[in-house]
Chain A
Amino acid sequence: MPSRIPPLAITAFTATSALGRGREAHLRALRERRGGLRSNDFTDTPLPCAIGRVDGIESVELPTDLRDLDSRNHRLAWLGLHADGFLDIARDAVARHGADRVALLTATSTASIGATEAAYRALDDGRFPAALAQPELHTLHSLGLFLDRIFGACGPCMTASTACSSSAKIFAQGERLIRLGLADAVILAGVDSLCGSVLFGFNALELVSPQPCRPFDAQRDGISIGEAAGFALLERDGDATAPRLLGHGESSDAHHMSTPHPQGLGARLAIDAALARAGLAAHEVDYINLHGTATVKNDEVEAAAVADLFPATTRASSTKGFTGHTLGAAGILEAVIALLALDAQFVPGTLNTTTPDAACGPQLALGNEERALRIALSNSFGFGGNNCALVFGRGAA
């Protein structure tokens, strides 16, 4: 088991999803149990399903010097980084620590593939149309290249792309950079946006529900795909009120490319490692934001693991009924939701779910609960059997 790590301060965090822009919008929607899913109005080819679409992306106008990298993903990133003053706080950190001491870690599953899809729809004699011919737009690191121009940090910069665990992984990467003294602050960004690849891809795998997803429901029948941008700033020290990253755990299922390990081996290893790094026992976890995608397999395996590992006093929920599964952005979006839960001292319930699966333990919270929360865990599991669990602690009140 890994040894305990020093906690890091999370000095800024924000998210933009189908629930709205910024922390207040998310908190309000969760409290009012107002989901963000709607009928699919995104694809030209009909696909009956619910999606978590962010309003206002289409009308975003990027500044002139960023327009060569215009894409839905970058517009969403642009919207997201202006929420809660994140851009100014991050730039201040760059100025305070020095550009070379600040790392920029980005995460996405599909980057700007939507722009690549658009180019293929508009091929001119087999070639991309001039407006879409910028090579930096058609690479997995496009989000990193886009944000690099904006933040002006010069520490290590790279994109993690491990499907649906991507933006949880960058918390672990960032923690290591600071612990080893390779950076003093790390800007974390996870952005994934709606595109044909994921909507029709998950549809081909028969993993998309025709209705808004019902995590952990006995009748659940698949995911609803959403989009989101999440940002966080990690620093060694911070105000006492800043929440803390206490632990992280990463593992591989080594079972199947698109189906979780039947006994949740990888999930358990990730949770155990995250708790060990945090120096905590399972019973000390007050709230778990579950991966809870609403696929038959994920929820069955995750429910059994949570029922087995945690006492009934630990409360657990999936918030994907609110936001949809935001894929590569899910890790950071749900980290932000866990931090909001710690701050507001409430457990957001599991939307759209009425009858929990028999595998669920007493931990599953269907409705919202007001409760004293000190420690939160967030689970993210991805294709390829890629798992990451994060442990957060509440800042001083």
Chain B
Amino acid sequence: MNALDVRIAGIGAWSPQHGAWPQLRAALRGEALDAIAPPHPPANVLPQAERRRAPPTVLLACEAAAQACAAAQLDAATLPCVFASTHGEVVISDDMCATLATDPRALSPTRFHNSVHNAPVGYWTLAVQCHAASNALSAWRGTFAAALFEAATLAVADAAPVLFAACDAAASGPLANVIGADDTFALAFVLDPALDGTGPRLHLRHVADAADSPADAFALLHALAHEEPVRGKSATLQIPSGNGRRLDIEIRA
């Protein structure tokens, strides 16, 4: 077996252009927007003090995750979490490397513990008092697909819903020129291995081959926004999940 079936019980997203998933969904459907997105993810799930201090990836991931849990009408405290980010907290990495190059002893303790890749999922579990398993993943250009597959694996293996969140924030400083991380975006799904219920079902298949026509997370969201079933070989979304690897996704309404 190399395939997994899960149901998307809730979707969340954040884009600086559109804001939350309902607005992004409307935009993807070509509908007119009635409001301008706030400049930053509100991330109201975080306590106010945390929200002020939290680095961008924490706000992004928590915002999308909270939307997905609310849409799924599930208690976030009970959901194991798989969070993913290609670059993690790149703004902090830039700042830390600059400090280390000039005055290493001036490194900020808070910046250091916020630099860990599991800072977003750590703040999330704190905010919603979740004691379940939590993971933080990266797979370079294959991050979204590889981590989605891992989240579905966890859901099916433990026969319980899993919160999946993926986000990246725009990089800054000299690091930005090298890794080319220009976009800020977050999305989250609550993945339920129980296929009966509302929400589209995903049939996920790991394929040990490069994509013929590579798609990405936006293509998946586009299809989800249009509630289009994507079935069969011609309509399968192929999202690269690493060198010579891809995740084939069929959406079954």
Contacts and interface: CB of A to CB of B under 8 A. Distances in A.
Q: Do A and B come from one complex?
A: yes
A123 interface: yes
B208 A155 contact: yes
Given A139-B87, A148-B243, A123 B137 contact: no
B153 to A, nearest CB: 5
Contact of A140 (B2, B80, B117): B117
Given A252-B134, A382-B118, A383-B122, A120 B242 contact: no
Contact of A201 (B88, B115, B245): B115
Given A158-B137, A254-B129, A176 B157 contact: yes
Contacts, number: 228
B134 A162 contact: yes
A17 interface: no
Interface stretch (B8-16, B29-37, B63-71, B174-182): B174-182
B138 A116 contact: no
Interface residues of B, number: 69
B112 A141 contact: no
B107 A138 contact: no
- The residue in A133, A138, A266 that gathers the most chain B C-beta atoms within 10 A of its C-beta is A138
Interface in B16-30: none
A367 interface: no
A145 interface: yes
B183 interface: no
Contact of A269 (B131, B149, B154): B131
Contacts of B117: 109, 140, 161-163
Contacts of A139: 86-87, 138, 140, 179
B136 interface: yes
Interface in B120-135: 121-123, 125-126, 128-135
Contact of B97 (A116, A140, A158, A386): A116
A136 B87 CA distance: 11
Contacts of B140: 136, 139, 141, 144-145
Interface stretch (B41-49, B98-106, B219-227, B229-237): B98-106
B138 A176 contact: no
B98 A120 contact: yes
A219 interface: no
Contact of B4 (A135, A144, A180, A254): A180
Contact of A169 (B87, B132, B135): B135
A126 interface: yes
Nearest to A143: B138
Contacts of A179: 157
Q: Interface centre among B105, B117, B150, by most A CB within 10 Å?
A: B117
A205 B206 contact: no
Contacts of A169: 135
Contacts of B98: 120
Contact of A128 (B131, B158, B177): B177
Contacts of B238: none
Contact of B123 (A119, A155, A176, A257): A257
A156 B174 contact: no
A265 B131 contact: yes
B138 A161 contact: yes
B179 A176 contact: no
A252 B125 contact: yes
A382 B122 CA distance: 10
Contacts of B244: 154
B146 interface: yes
B138 A140 contact: yes
Contacts of A256: 126
B132 A251 contact: yes
B104 A43 contact: yes
Interface string A163-184: 1000001001100110111100
Given A158-B147, A161-B137, A176-B157, A253 B131 contact: yes
Contacts of A160: 135-137
Given A140-B88, A201-B112, A384-B122, A250 B134 contact: yes
B113 interface: yes
Contact of B174 (A113, A127, A154, A386): A127
A163 B147 CA distance: 17
Contacts of A205: 109, 112-113
B158 A254 contact: no
Contacts of A182: 1-2, 4, 153, 206
Given A116-B93, A384-B125, 17 more contacts: A121-B100, A138-B175, A154-B245, A158-B137, A158-B138, A158-B146, A158-B147, A161-B117, A162-B134, A162-B135, A181-B2, A197-B97, A200-B105, A201-B109, A201-B113, A250-B133, A265-B131
13 contacts: A45-B105, A127-B174, A157-B146, A197-B100, A197-B107, A203-B105, A205-B109, A205-B112, A252-B134, A254-B125, A384-B116, A385-B122, A386-B136
Interface of A: 2, 43, 45, 47, 99-100, 109, 113, 116-117, 119-121, 123, 126-128, 133, 135-136, 138-141, 144-145, 148, 154-163, 169, 172-173, 176-177, 179-182, 196-197, 200-206, 250-258, 265-266, 269, 382-386
